[in-house]
């Protein structure tokens, strides 16, 4: 409800002519044909949406209106003309506008850069493994560690909502692992990773694997300070996932198609999966493997080695 | 993207600034959300209300300013308007455009008492 005049609250219909006080949520924009009756108690506090019009007054409507379902039809996009100098209720002091211009992800990015600086200082290659739950991240890691642990120091950060199952599986290989439990959280963030790093031995040239929470959506937006994201897609998940979940594939340098030993038993179009991934990220590489049968595994190891030596060269140079 | 975590950050930023300014309450928080960012504005507004409870931002209106998307098309060699992150070029239809504007996720200003 309007906090100035109280309109829109229970028993108070919205005022008709609300030009004379701060009542910006009644604007009737000609692009829309929405009923103006969203002042009910369930409506959160008059949130408003506006487009920066500038030169684009005739532009087609922004897409989020077209293909998002609105559970509450009242909560809709109403494009309002931006008025820097709106009128005020008589007798009420105008509120002060304080410019902030602060990036919302700035804090996470700061922690991520701190992690990145630590990695650079010690020549650590950090890889952020992302995928749906059950794609085979931990199994891939276990096999990778078995193949490489005599050649590189290795450390692992595990992320799950609950349990330490994955960290225990890693430790069983003889390598140090820290488990982060996010509780309700659905992704790891750089702050959590920074704390986990404090608990790990990280000699120079360590191979650091960060196994993110199983989730094809949220981890995409959170930089952990890694050198690259590696997205896993198992053959039981369907080849259309890169298009359905583009952000995470676009954020990844490598797509590892896992469980290739099951290809005979599922309908999975590998050509399409690769094409779709390249559509959202032209630079993405693809490796197809099976941790179980070993097929394609050498390519994965070779990819890691390439990135290790690139890192080594960049430090020397 | 994750709107709950983002809403928490918005409330945190707004509150920090409001306190620094000695404000008694926050009337509105103006955020810039690029059309190409991975954010659903309605979800953000919902989460903001939930997270703002019992903070200086409680009851504040979240004003979401959408910034249109623009990207560079390597085939056309020019900047073109796009509506969503992975859209093809509206002129030549090719994919793999590089975003140049519309990826913002920023608290632009707060209105305080």
For residue A141, give how far its alpha carbon lies from the nearest alpha carbon of chain B (Å): 26
Lowest mean pLDDT among A88-97, A227-236, A295-304: A88-97
For residue B42, give how far its alpha carbon lies from the nearest alpha carbon of chain A (Å): 8
CA angle B6, A101, A63 (to 5 degrees): 55
Q: What value of ipTM does the predicted structure carry?
A: 0.79
**A274–chain B Cβ distance below 8 A for any pair:** no
Rounded mean pLDDT of A184-191?
A: 89
What single DSSP character describes residue A47?
-
d(CA A277, CA A249): 6
For residue B100, give how far its alpha carbon lies from the nearest alpha carbon of chain A (Å): 16
**A29–chain B Cβ distance below 8 A for any pair:** no
- Quick one: pLDDT band at residue A165, thresholds 50, 70, 90? very high
Among B12, B17, B28, B49, which would you mutate to test the A interface (most chain A Cβ atoms within 10 Å of its Cβ)?
A: B28
- Quick one: pLDDT band at residue A178, thresholds 50, 70, 90? very high
Q: Are B7 and B44 in contact (CB under 8 A)?
A: yes
Interfacial A residues in 158-217 facing B (CB < 8 Å): 185-187, 189, 217
A-B CB pairs within 8 A amount to 149
d(CA A296, CA A18): 67
| C-alpha pair distances (Å), A185 with each of A38, A192, B5, B10 | 32, 11, 9, 17
Q: Are B75 and B92 in contact (CB under 8 A)?
A: yes
Q: What is the pLDDT of residues B64-74, one digit of tens each?
A: 999 999 999 99
Q: In this predicted structure, what is the pLDDT of residue A81?
A: 28
d(CA B74, CA B79): 9
Q: In terms of CA atoms, which chain A residue is nearest residue B84?
A: A63
d(CA A310, CA A298): 18
Q: What is the pLDDT of residues A201-245, one digit of tens each?
A: 999 999 999 999 999 988 998 999 999 999 999 999 999 999 999
d(CA A165, CA A149): 20
| C-alpha pair distances (Å), A224 with each of A113, A179, B70, B74 | 8, 15, 27, 29
C-beta atoms of B35 and A63 within 8 A: yes
Among the listed residues A228, A227, A300, the one whose alpha carbon sits nearest the alpha carbon of residue A257? A300
Q: What is the pLDDT of residues A253-299, one digit of tens each?
A: 999 999 999 999 999 999 999 999 999 999 999 999 999 999 999 99
For residue A197, give how far its alpha carbon lies from the nearest alpha carbon of chain B (Å): 22
Give me the helix-helix angle, B3-20 and B41-52, nearest 10°.
Answer: 50
3-class secondary-structure state, position A83: coil
- E strand or H helix that includes residue A129: strand A125-130
Pairing of strands A176-181, A254-258: unpaired
Closest CB to A103: pick one of B17, B21, B106. Answer: B106
């Amino acid at each position: 409800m309007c906090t100035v005049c109280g309109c829109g609250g229970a028993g108070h219909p919205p005022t008709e002519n609300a030009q004379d006080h701060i009542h910006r949520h009644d604007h009737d924009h000609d692009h829309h044909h929405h009923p103006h009756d969203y002042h009910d108690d369930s409506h959160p506090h008059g949130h408003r949406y506006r487009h920066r019009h500038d030169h684009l007054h005739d532009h087609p409507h922004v897409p989020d209106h077209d293909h998002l379902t609105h559970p509450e039809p009242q909560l809709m996009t109403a494009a309002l003309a931006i008025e820097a100098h709106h009128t005020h209720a008589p007798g009420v002091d105008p509120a002060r506008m304080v410019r902030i211009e602060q990036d919302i992800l700035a804090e996470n990015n700061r922690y991520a850069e701190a992690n990145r600086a630590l990695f650079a200082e010690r020549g650590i290659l950090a890889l952020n493994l992302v995928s749906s739950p059950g794609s085979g991240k931990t199994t891939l890691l276990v096999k990778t560690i078995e193949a490489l642990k005599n050649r590189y120091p290795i450390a692992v950060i595990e992320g799950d909502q609950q349990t330490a199952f994955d960290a225990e599986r890693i430790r069983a290989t003889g390598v140090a692992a820290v488990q982060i439990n996010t509780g309700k959280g659905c992704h790891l963030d750089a702050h959590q990773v920074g704390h986990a790093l404090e608990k790990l031995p990280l000699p120079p040239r360590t191979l650091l694997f960060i196994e993110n929470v199983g989730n094809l959506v949220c981890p995409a937006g959170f930089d952990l300070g890694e050198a690259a994201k590696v997205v896993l897609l198992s053959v039981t998940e369907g080849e259309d996932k890169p298009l359905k979940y583009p952000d995470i594939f676009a954020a990844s340098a490598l797509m590892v198609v896992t469980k290739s030993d099951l290809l005979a038993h599922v309908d999975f179009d590998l050509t399409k999966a690769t094409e779709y991934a390249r559509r959202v990220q032209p630079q993405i590489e693809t490796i197809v493997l099976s941790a179980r049968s070993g097929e394609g595994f050498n390519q994965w190891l070779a990819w890691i080695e390439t990135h290790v030596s690139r890192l080594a060269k960049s430090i020397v140079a | 993207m994750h709107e709950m975590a983002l809403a928490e950050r918005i409330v945190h930023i707004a509150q920090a600034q409001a306190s620094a300014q000695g404000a008694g309450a926050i009337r509105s928080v103006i955020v810039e959300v690029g059309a190409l960012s991975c954010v659903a504005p309605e979800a953000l507004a919902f989460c903001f209300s939930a997270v703002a409870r019992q903070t200086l931002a409680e009851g504040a209106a979240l004003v979401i300013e959408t910034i249109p998307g623009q990207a560079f098309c390597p085939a056309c060699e020019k900047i073109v308007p796009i509506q969503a992150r992975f859209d093809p070029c509206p002129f030549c239809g090719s994919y793999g455009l590089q975003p140049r504007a519309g990826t913002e996720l920023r608290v632009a200003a707060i209105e305080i008492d």
